[in-house]
Amino acid sequence: MLTTTPNLELANSISNELIEKKLAACISINKITSIYHWEGKTENSDEFELKIKTKLKNFKKIKKLIISLHTYDVPEILAIPILKGSKKYLKFIDKNTKGQNQCL
């Protein structure tokens, strides 16, 4: 699974919760730059990407935990390959890929 956060403190907070609750076996945190459309303009932000190593059966619990702790209106929450995803984020992808059918 993947998610991003605006700062290292939130990345660590989410990661610690997932590990303590045994919803993930390991989480890698990397600093990245994201370029995206938001509210009609192109944004360029430093973020922290969480690569969450887990089982698919934990997706719903992880999604709920991320949403409860996150500061973004539409946090990235993806299973890779994308088998499931946050409705808002998949809608965001659809909107910005001109309605392409499959997200990879």
| CATH at 43 | 3.30.70.120
pLDDT at res. 9 = 98
The pLDDT mean for the chain works out to 89
Predicted confidence at residue 50, as pLDDT, reads: 98
In a domain, 101, yes or no: no
**Does residue 19 belong to any structural domain of this protein?**
yes
What is the predicted pLDDT for the residue at 100?
44
Cβ proximity of 77 and 43 under 8 Å: no
How crowded is the C-beta side of 49, counted as CA atoms within 13 Å? 10
How far is Cα 23 from Cα 59, in angstroms, rounded to an integer? 9
Tally of structural domains, the chain: 1
Residue 90 binned pLDDT confidence (cut-offs 50, 70, 90): confident
The amino acid present at 88, given as its one-letter code, is K
Residues 97-101 have a mean pLDDT of 53
- pLDDT of 103 above 60: no
